[in-house]
Amino acid sequence: MSHPRSLALVAVGGALGVASREALGLAMAGVSPMADGASLPWAVILANIAGALLLGLLYGALAHRRLIHHTTRLGQTLRLLLGIGFCGGFTTYSTFAVGLVLLAGTTDPLHAALWALGIITAGALASWVGMVLGGAGRTHGSQLRPTGDRT
């Protein structure tokens, strides 16, 4: 696949992902108060967990159909457009990290650390659920490997 086409797929997917995250943020405006007056960026948390689920679902579906490797044009296109592009634009680690620092400044830092651990665990669980729902492991020989691993 040519570099310009790859970059275009990532750019289009990324633009759609960022726009979707912003729409989610606008829809959830004001849905942040916690009992102690601190707030969490709920839209960012939801976007990150949903993005982890979607990426796991995509990865699982591609692995199930043996399209996960760079050897198929469809697998490459879906990985670039939806995986790297859309899910990469929809999720945001930096905003999540800043939100946790702000939370730690308004509440007990241990409380913020527990939230961080819970959210990261939820994201990992969502990725796993997505992979299972996507069909990863259902076909004999469709092992989960990083997308760059061609072995």
C-alpha 134/C-alpha 52 separation (Å) is 13
Dihedral sign, Cα of residue 108, residue 113, residue 116, residue 118? negative
In a 3-state reduction of DSSP, which class is residue 33?
strand
C-alpha 68/C-alpha 47 separation (Å) is 24
Give the distance from CA 56 to its chain's centroid.
8
Closest CA to 144 of 48, 51, 70, 61: 61
Are residues 131 and 63 in contact, defined by beta-carbon separation less than 8 angstroms?
A: yes
- Which residues are annotated as part of the binding site? 88, 91
Burial of 86 (0-12, 13-18, 19+ CB in 10 A): buried
Give the distance from CA 97 to its chain's centroid.
15
- Which residues are annotated as part of the binding site for Na(+)? 88, 91
